[in-house]
Every structure is written in structure tokens, then in C-alpha cells.
């Protein structure tokens, strides 16, 4: 297990912070309505990189002065590494540069966070085995739970990039076409089965213009965020055959504000689970490319207190983001800087590991009881959902911050 | 029927040109490697709008000097109309401004055309009834051909914007996962059932951030292009359950280079076909919002001559682009300037009206014979596919130019 790297930023040395020197996640922030710019989280501070770059202590061609990490991503993997190592040196406990760096620190509680990159396109996968097994069992029974292609392909679909929002954005319950199995005709009205999906999002940091290997895909991934794929199950049930989910997934997808770099997560690399069937060569992992990241979901009813409704781990995924990206590019599909890949819902083997209310309440048949005594099958108006995640080293955690969204009532129709 | 508007550009007065004064389609061009800029096609000429704007004969806030129509679209519908009426006056046979405008004309055959707008996201629909009926009959038999939701929802899925290319771009046959019904395991190799889909593309010219009515959706559509949704049927067959087509549609989608404005098409508005079941109010058309546009597909084998393999009409669509856009926004999904909506394959009632080889060859069971005597079930390497379309007035046509793509062999695997 790797150890805490100590920083002269005292709050970064706590075992409780998401942002020790080992992490250095990438965000975009503003203070008092100023132009958004690039920053790195360290303890309870944000290091203003745009401001620091003017001192000459860092030089990345002005890419850090933009309100997005895309220009920096375009510099490539060698520069990503140089940046981390230079920044780690500047912030280390014994750094001789403390005096030069310290004036460029901002208190996190005074900053407003913004979407950290220019999102190109958003793809969502269905690559967690326990989730696919649970959902398949509900709809087709345990024998036919996994579709025939599932163990061969990281099944994915294109999502709607314009609907991806930053943590904290309020989510309005959607209206949509609904039809119960016994209804003669569909009707248009508010979704009554509005749900969450606990996922990780991988951010593509290098473009490709043709098929790439799993290793190349791994190298092209810049970092990771938490991702909540809000889902209207009743809209989905009626619309999704034959071409997949569309309006059921178009209301919103929320991401956490800090991009945790692949390099920061390197000590926590782990293999995907054993294969039930061998993968075709273009999908085989040459090395461990998944990560051991503990995840949890909290649900807080309006005016109430939070219940942790799920605990699971990213290492439950059957396919890594690298495998998903290699598959995505396999047809020649051009991939771009700023593409976001949702992992698919991350459930674990047990009931307490289920990453969606659909699974937790088993399609609404087994409502769960919150700590307050209230029951939940799906989300109620006013519910606040919080995703959290962290990888654990010796005496420290590499965390993601929170991915939060509150549900507002639907528009009247 | 409306009449030809005569122009002092003589070639624009021919019944054969796609680009009479009634059309004035919007493109982006360059000459001899210059910066791409906005232009309008008129006969065999392109009017250089960037250059014309410097004279003061047109003034649209510099939006025409960019290499994309997005900034102009953002000005809104009133400016779209003012632009057309001012340009129509400048180019009319009796215009007093001929001397001022003529120096800004470029010969079309000296220009290179570029992608005419900044593409935001690409959505493809499945909203042509004959196509859905044909495909459904092949896979499920005639009784169950249409999915239960089909007559209630314009079924759509998110496509991959990075794969949308301009007419003339060569298309490489994709590799992908393939598995025949009798194969034990899938394999990775070149698609053997690579196909086209004849579609129209609608370009969203105004953003929305919540549900909109069909009328608002109609008003937000800037114009139309021809669209060829290249499709790998064998990859699709294995991957598409349960979440829809993904890599089968990610190799490329080709559009024609000129955006024909909704205003130019206004004389050709027509209603969607009679409803088999009533639509929910949010999808009902308040006025005719489809267009009478004749369409054809030509297939030219390497070194051979062209066979017209399909003739159909955009008026065969069951749902208009306005209905598709209203549905797309119904969940609260934000729509943006530069979103592209593919109509879905436009087939007609008869065999000669089928807009895909899948239908023409009935899943490969009934290969067609080209004029050269060669047979085709799906595309062969070297095949050149050309889509053409035009609406017909009295003695003139409002055409789209050609949407062309040639198929190159797959990469070796």
C-alpha cells in the first residue's frame, strides 16, 4: 500500500480529506463571479493554476489559463505526467517554493465550481455484471438474465451530451410517454419511477481516428469522475424497444466536479473479474486496468437526514473503461478529447451493493425503508441524492468529492 | 405551384440546376486553400458572403465571415428571413445591385466545400413506416412488424456526432464483432453486410432548454440536408439487443454540403400520412410540416456505370422532423444550435422505393441486379453511393446537390 505524501497545506495531510497530495484532482473554479479557470484541489484549498502560471513556477503553454482542461489534455500524456510531478514537488512538505505558491491558494469554501472540461460526446455502458444480472432477472428470469452478447461485448449506447450537468444542479422530474402493461393507450405525464444509477465516468484525453488497442485506450484516458445517470424507468420501459433508451435518459446525467487523474489512481489498479467466456483479442486487458474505488449512495428526503442506500466498489465492473473505449473505436468511430464514458451501473453481489433503486426495490416490489422510517421504491420530489467515492491508501484516501442532485417536481402538463 | 424566380446569374434560371434563386442553400467553401467561409449556391456559382458583407450590401453582424453557419443561426428566425429576402433582391434579374454583387461570385467548380455547420449532436430516428414495416416483417413476420410503441412515438436513438462527415469523404468498411445464428462464438472481422440508409437530416437552428411544442420545434429547424446513415447490418444484428445500435452505426454518416433552408422548402410543405392511431397532443401537427421532396439513390460499382437503385419521397415519413424534435425535447433534454436529426430510412410502398439494401435485397435473400449485370445484396468494396433530392416547382427544382460516398476495403485484422 502506498503512503500519504505530506504537503505544507496542512489540511491535505488528514486521513479524512478527499484531496491529499496523492490526489491533486483537476477542476474549474471561479471566485466572486470572476472568469472560470483551472485549479487543483489540495486539502481544503484550490490552487489557482492560471495565477500560478504567471509566476513562471509552472509552464504549460497557457493551457491552464482557460476555463476547461481540454487544452491541457491535448498536450498529451508526457505533459500530464510532468505536470503532476512538478505540482507534487511544489506542494510537498519540504518544498522550497512554498512562499511562491502559497499566494495562489483559494479557500475551497469561497469558490464556485464549474464543469471541468468541454464535453464532446457522452456514451453510457451497461457493463456491470451484477446490475445486468439483476435487471435481466427481473425482466426475463434468472436463466435468461444476461443477453447472449453480454459476456462478449461491453454493451453501450450513445447518450445525450447536452444533458450532462455538474454536481449541485437541480434535476426536474421529467414528463414523458407512459404506458402500463394493461393500458390500452399511452399517456403523457410525469415519470413515477424516476431513478438513479451509480456509475463512474471516464474522460477521454487524447483523440483517435480508427481502431485502438486496449493499451492505447488505457493510455488515452485522462481521468475519472463519479456519475449519476438519472433514469425514468417507466418512460424507458415503453420506449426502449427496439433502439434503446432515449428520452428515459435525456433529462440529466450528473458528474462530480473534480477529475481524478488516471495517474493518481494508479496505485489502486486491479483486474476485471474472471471471464466466464474468453474475450476476443481486441478486448483483452494486457494489465490490470480497473480500479479499487469504494462507492456509496446517500438519499436525503426533503427536510430529513441521509440514509446510505448502497455501498459497492468500481472493481465489480466486468469491463474496464479501457476495454469500453477500445470497443467504442473498433468500428473506426473517431474519439475526441472530452468524450465521457459512463461505466454502467455498478452493483455488487449483495442486496446492499445495488446501485439503482430499480434493483434496491426490485422493480418497486420490495420498497426500502429509510432511516427516517419513510419508504422508497423510486425517488420522491425533494429527494437529494449524493454519490461518494474514494480509493484508500495507507492513512489517506484519494476521493472524488460529492456528486449531488436534488429532484424537483415535474412541470404540470 | 410556385414559379421560378429569375436571376441575373443566368445558370440559375435553368430547370436543370439544383440552385435557382428560389433555393439559395447555405454552404461553407474555400478557394485555393483559403480560410473556409460562408457562401450561398446560385446556379453554377457560389456567392462569397464574407466578401460581400465587407461592401455593406449585407450586414449580419459578421456572422457570415465565419467558417460555419452556427453564428448566423443564433441570430434567429427573423434574421433568417431578412437574409433571404435581401439576398433574393440582390440576385433578382432586375436588381440594381448586380454590379456590386457580381465581383463576389466564385465558380463552383473552383471551390472546395466544407462541413457547413458546427455539429452539436446527432440523433437518428426510425420514423418511416414502410422501412419499419419492411424490416419488422423480415425479423418478426408481417403481423408483428411494427413494435407496439411505433405508432405513438417517433422512435429515435442518439448517434455519434464525431462520425458525421461531408459528402465526398471516403468510407472504410468497418471491422466489428460478428456472430451468425449458428456460430458458437463471435469473431472480429470485416462487416459483410455493409449498407446505406437514405434519409433527410434536419438541422436545429435555435436552442431550447425544456419541452417545446411541435410548432416551436418547426420554427427552430433551420434547414435540411440529404443524409446517408451507413450501417453494418451484421454488427448490428449481434450487438443491438438490448440497448440499440452502437458500433454498427458509428463508422460514418454522410451529409450533403448545402443546407436547404426551411423557408426555401415552404412551397413544398405537405402533411404526414393519415394516423393509424391518434397521437398524443404533444406530438400533433398544427399544420403541414413535412415536405414533398423526390429522392433517389445511385450505386456505381468501381469502374462501372451508375444504376438508380431506389426512388422515393420524403413525404412517406410517418413523423415530421418537427414532431421528432418536439419528442426529443419532451423529457427536458436541452437541444442546441447545430443538432442534426436524421429522419430514419425513407422507403415507399413499392419495391423500387426501398431506401436500404437490407430492404432491396430482402435481407440478402433476393440480390438485385445492377444495370451492368452485377448482383448486389450489400455493398462491395469500391462501390460509390450517391443520394440526390429535389422539390419541384413550375419549371424549376430546389435541389440538395449530391451526397456521395465511396466504400474502401476494411483494415486487415
Q: Helix or strand or coil: residue A32?
A: coil
Distance CA B175, CA B241 (A): 19
Q: B-contacting residues of A 271-330, CB under 8 Å?
A: 277, 280-282, 327-328, 330
Among A129-133, B1-5, B198-202, B367-371, the minimum mean pLDDT is found in: B1-5
pLDDT band at residue A29, thresholds of 50, 70 and 90? Answer: very high
Task: Give me the pLDDT at residue B69, please.
Answer: 98
User: Does A407 touch chain B if contact means CB atoms closer than 8 Å?
Assistant: no
pLDDT band at B244 (very low <50, low <70, confident <90, very high): very high
- Is B270 annotated in some ligand binding site? no
Q: What angle do CA A119, A125, A130 make, to 5 degrees?
A: 140
Residue of A126, A185, A251 with shortest CB distance to B333: A251
ipTM for the complex shown: 0.97
Asked if A205 contacts A220 with a C-beta cutoff of 8 angstroms, the reply is yes
Of residues B161, B211, B242, nearest to A175 (C-beta): B211
User: Across the strands, what pairs with A123?
Assistant: A158, A341
Is any Cβ of chain B less than 8 angstroms from the Cβ of A177? Answer: yes
Report, as an integer, the average pLDDT of B257-262. Answer: 98
pLDDT of residue A1: 76
Confidence at A222, pLDDT banded by 50, 70, 90: very high
3-state secondary structure B122-181: EEEECCEHHHHHHHHHHHHCCCCCCCCCCCCCCCEEECCHHHEEECCCCEECCEEEECCC
B152–A177 CB contact, under 8 Å: yes
**Separation CA B195–CA B205 (nearest Å):** 30
Of chain A, the percentage scoring pLDDT greater than 90 comes to 98
Averaged pLDDT, B103-107: 98
Question: Using only C-alpha atoms, what is the Rg of chain A?
Answer: 21
Q: B182 in contact with A at a CB cutoff of 8 Å?
A: no
Q: What is the pLDDT of residue B139?
A: 84
Cross-chain residue pair B331–A210, CB shorter than 8 Å = no
CA distance B224 to chain A (A): 21
Judged against a pLDDT cut of 80, whether residue A186 lies above it is answered with yes
B242:A158 CB<8 A: no
Instruction: For residues B201 and B331, give the distance between their C-alpha atoms in angstroms, rounded to a whole number.
Output: 22
Contact: A332, B172; criterion CB under 8 Å:
yes
C-alpha–C-alpha distance, residues B153 and B150, integer Å: 6
Where is A265: in which H helix or E strand?
Answer: helix A262-265
B251 and A333 within 8 Å at the Cβ level: the answer is yes
Interface of A with B in 320-349 (CB under 8 A): 327-328, 330-336, 339
Distance from C-alpha of A86 to C-alpha of A276, rounded to nearest angstrom: 43
Q: CA A390, CA A402: separation in Å to the nearest integer?
A: 10
Q: Which of B160, B334, B413 sits opposite A163 (nearest CB)?
A: B334
Provide, as residue numbers in chain A, all residues whose Cβ is less than 8 Å from the Cβ of B161: 121
pLDDT level of residue A139 (50, 70, 90 thresholds): confident
CB A310 within 8 A of CB A360: yes
CB A317 within 8 A of CB A179: no
Question: What is the tens place of the pLDDT at every residue in B11-25?
Answer: 999 999 999 999 999
Mean pLDDT, chain A, whole residue set: 97
CA distance A310 to chain B (A): 25
Strand stretches in A179-230, DSSP E: 187-190, 194-195, 198-204, 221-229
Confidence check: pLDDT of A310 > 90 = yes
Q: Which domains does chain A carry?
A: 10-114 (2.30.30.230), 122-408 (3.90.850.10)
The span from the CA of A240 to the CA of B242, in Å, is 8
Contacts with A183 (C-beta within 8 Å, 6 or more apart), sequence order: none
> Would you place residue A181 in the very low, low, confident or very high pLDDT band (cuts 50, 70, 90)?
confident
User: pLDDT tens digit string along A328-356?
Assistant: 999 999 999 999 999 999 999 999 999 99
Amino acid at each position: 500500500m502506498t503512503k500519504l505524501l505530506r504537503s505544507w497545506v496542512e489540511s491535505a495531510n488528514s486521513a479524512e480529506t478527499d484531496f491529499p497530495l496523492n490526489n491533486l484532482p483537476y477542476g474549474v473554479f471561479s471566485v466572486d463571479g470572476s472568469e472560470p479557470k483551472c485549479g487543483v484541489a489540495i486539502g481544503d484549498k484550490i490552487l489557482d493554476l492560471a495565477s500560478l502560471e504567471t509566476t513562471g513556477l509552472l509552464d504549460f503553454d497557457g493551457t491552464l489559463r482557460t476555463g476547461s482542461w481540454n487544452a491541457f489534455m491535448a498536450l498529451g500524456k508526457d505533459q500530464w505526467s510532468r505536470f503532476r510531478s512538478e505540482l507534487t514537488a511544489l506542494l510537498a512538505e519540504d518544498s522550497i517554493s512554498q512562499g511562491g505558491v502559497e499566494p495562489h491558494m483559494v479557500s475551497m469554501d469561497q469558490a464556485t465550481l464549474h464543469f471541468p472540461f468541454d464535453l464532446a460526446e457522452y456514451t453510457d455502458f451497461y457493463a456491470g455484471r451484477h446490475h445486468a444480472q439483476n435487471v435481466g432477472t427481473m425482466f426475463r428470469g434468472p436463466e435468461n438474465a444476461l443477453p447472449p452478447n453480454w459476456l462478449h461485448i461491453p454493451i453501450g449506447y450513445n447518450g445525450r451530451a447536452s444533458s450532462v450537468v455538474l454536481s449541485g444542479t437541480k434535476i426536474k422530474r421529467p414528463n414523458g410517454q407512459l404506458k402500463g402493461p394493461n393500458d390500452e393507450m399511452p399517456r403523457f405525464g410525469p415519470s413515477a419511477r424516476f431513478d438513479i444509477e451509480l456509475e463512474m465516468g471516464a474522460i477521454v484525453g487524447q483523440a483517435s481516428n480508427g481502431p485502438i488497442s486496449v493499451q492505447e485506450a488505457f493510455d488515452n484516458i485522462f481521468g475519472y469522475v463519479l456519475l449519476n445517470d438519472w433514469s425514468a424507468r417507466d418512460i424507458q420501459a415503453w420506449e426502449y424497444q427496439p433502439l434503446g433508451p432515449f428520452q428515459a435518459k435525456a433529462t440529466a446525467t450528473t458528474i462530480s466536479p473534480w477529475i481524478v487523474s488516471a495517474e493518481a489512481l494508479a496505485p489502486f489498479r486491479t483486474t476485471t473479474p474472471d471471464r466466464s467466456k474468453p474475450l476476443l483479442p481486441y478486448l483483452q486487458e494486457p494489465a490490470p486496468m480497473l480500479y479499487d474505488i469504494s462507492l456509496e449512495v446517500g438519499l436525503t428526503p426533503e427536510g430529513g437526514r441521509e440514509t446510505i442506500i448502497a455501498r459497492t466498489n468500481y472493481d465489480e465492473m466486468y469491463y474496464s473503461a479501457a476495454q469500453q473505449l477500445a470497443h467504442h473505436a473498433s468500428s473506426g468511430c473517431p474519439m475526441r478529447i472530452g468524450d465521457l464514458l459512463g461505466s454502467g451501473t455498478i452493483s455488487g453481489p449483495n442486496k446492499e451493493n445495488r446501485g439503482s433503486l430499480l434493483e434496491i426495490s426490485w422493480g418497486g416490489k420490495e420498497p426500502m425503508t429509510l432511516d427516517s422510517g419513510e419508504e422508497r421504491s423510486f425517488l420522491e420530489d425533494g429527494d437529494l441524492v449524493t454519490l461518494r467515492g474514494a480509493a484508500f491508501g495507507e492513512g489517506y484516501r484519494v476521493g472524488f468529492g460529492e456528486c449531488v442532485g436534488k429532484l424537483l417536481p415535474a412541470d404540470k402538463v
